[in-house]
Amino acid sequence: MEETYSIQEASSKTGLTEDAIRHYEKIGLLPPIRRKANGHRAFAAADLEVMELITCLKKTGMTLEEMKSYVHFPFKDAIGSNAEMLATFQQYRQKITAQIADLQRILQFIDDKLDNRQSLLKQ
């Protein structure tokens, strides 16, 4: 039988709060979660993968509403089999790449100031 996780374990493994997990289930972002005989949620490994996907998509700036079409995409299908999804993920990749470049510039600025013990502004 497949290993399952309680909501506390799912929260710990994914970094999502229990409230967030319940909310995502309520709004249909998570697929229906199996329940134990006592009514407690029983999360499967696949459910945790969906939560990881949600976390990643959220960090790209995608809204929960936008995510709905992606988290319900058949996970076994390749992203390339859906032109719209492929284009969207390429756009988000470009956005993240630009953010990384910006953060690297900021880090370099800070490192230069720390290494040279400079004032924050050139005078």
Instruction: Please provide the DSSP assignment of 4-71 as one string.
Output: -B-HHHHHHHH---HHHHHHHHHTTSSPPPEE-TTS-EEB-HHHHHHHHHHHHHHHTT--HHHHHHHH
CA angle 35, 32, 71 (to 5 degrees): 145
Q: For the chain, what is the mean pLDDT?
A: 87
Report the C-alpha gap between 105 and 108 in whole angstroms. Answer: 5
Task: Tokens for 52, please give them.
Answer: 């990881």
**Percentage of the residues of the chain whose pLDDT score is greater than 90:** 50
Non-local (6+) Cβ contacts of 85 within 8 A are 69, 70, 73, 79
Instruction: Measure CA 42 to chain center.
Output: 21
Does position 123 have pLDDT exceeding 60, yes or no? no
Cross-strand partners of 41: 35
Q: What is the pLDDT of residues 45-87, one digit of tens each?
A: 989 999 998 998 898 888 998 888 777 766 566 666 778 878 8
According to the model, what pLDDT value does residue 97 have?
A: 94
Q: Taking the model in full, what pTM does it have?
A: 0.73
Instruction: Please write the tens of the pLDDT for every residue from 1-48.
Output: 789 999 999 999 999 999 999 999 999 999 889 999 999 999 999 899
DSSP state of 92: H
Give the three-class secondary structure for 76.
coil
